Amino acid sequence: MNLRRNNIGDDATKLISELLQTNSTLTNLDIAENNIGDGSHSIFESLKINTTLSDLYLGGNRIGVDGATSIYLSLLINSTLKNLGLRANNIGDNGTKLISEALQINSTITSLYLGRNSIGNTGAISVFEVLQSNSTLTTLDLSDNNIGDAAVQLISDLLQGNSTLTKLNLRGNKIGISDVPIASLINRNEQFLKSYFEKIINLKNEPNMNQITTFVENHKVYLNR
């Protein structure tokens, strides 16, 4: 069900939540960009009961840290939701930590979209620490946040112990091009490779160019498909 950009607000969202508690056929719900704030609590509360919804998109609303608490409690119980879109909800580091904690227990979420949520190094690291034990998440979007080189170095190390994440989006962060161990990131993020490659070419940085060239040859990562 696609209700994106309908300005439904909190009251209508609560009605949708009530329907989710009894509905046994709906699998996809898109209520992104609807000026939803406190109403998100009722949505996640209903997911403790609903057993059919697999895709939920709430991007561009006003969930915030308080909403992230509801997400945390919901993901501890729900066992059917697979794709969760939370882009642009001002969740921040604290909210991201809560969601990360839930992923330690939840074993059904495969795609998580957290782009443009004011997430810094601390929040990002909390996600990747969990990925050392989480074996279901395959897609992670952390684009357009405030993640810097200090976090990327640790993220790269943490990813060495994960074999299930296949798509990682880190575009639009504060990631530089020097002294960043990019090998474990590149093979999961072709777009990141393209952006990184362009910066290297523009600066004509020979050592880093050699690093990327060697990696591409060894791991068969191609710029164009």
Residues 134 and 212 in one domain: no
Residue 108's pLDDT is what? 97
CA distances (Å), origin 163, targets 144, 158, 196? 25, 11, 23
Question: Domain of 216?
Answer: 176-225
Residues 57 and 115 in one domain: yes
Using the 3D structure, point to which of 158, 175, 192 is the last residue of a domain: 175
Residues 196 and 184 in one domain: yes
Q: Of the candidates 182, 213, 32, 114, which has an alpha carbon nearest to the alpha carbon of residue 222?
A: 213
Mean pLDDT of the chain: 84
Residues 66 and 144 in one domain: yes
Residue 148's pLDDT is what? 87
Residues 170 and 191 in one domain: no
Residue 222's pLDDT is what? 32
Average pLDDT for 162-167:
82
Residues 136 and 181 in one domain: no
Check whether 208 has a pLDDT greater than 60: no
CB-count exposure of residue 138 (10 Å: 0-12, 13-18, 19+): middle
Residues 76 and 155 in one domain: yes
Residues 61 and 137 in one domain: yes
Res. 218 pLDDT band, cuts 50 70 90 = very low
The number of distinct structural domains making up the chain is: 2
Residues 51 and 138 in one domain: yes
Check whether 221 has a pLDDT greater than 50: no
Residues 165 and 182 in one domain: no
Task: Show the tokens assigned to 76.
Answer: 């501890």
Residue 100's pLDDT is what? 97
The angle, 0 to 180 degrees and rounded to 10, between the axes of the packed helices 190-203 and 206-219 is 150
Average pLDDT for 71-88:
97
Residues 88 and 154 in one domain: yes
Residues 225 and 210 in one domain: yes
Res. 211 pLDDT band, cuts 50 70 90 = low
Residue 164 lies in a domain: yes
Residue 153 lies in a domain: yes
Residue 168's pLDDT is what? 84
Residue 40's pLDDT is what? 95
Check whether 188 has a pLDDT greater than 50: yes
Residue 165 vs residue 176, higher pLDDT: 165
Instruction: Lowest mean pLDDT of 25-39, 90-104, 208-222, name the range.
Output: 208-222
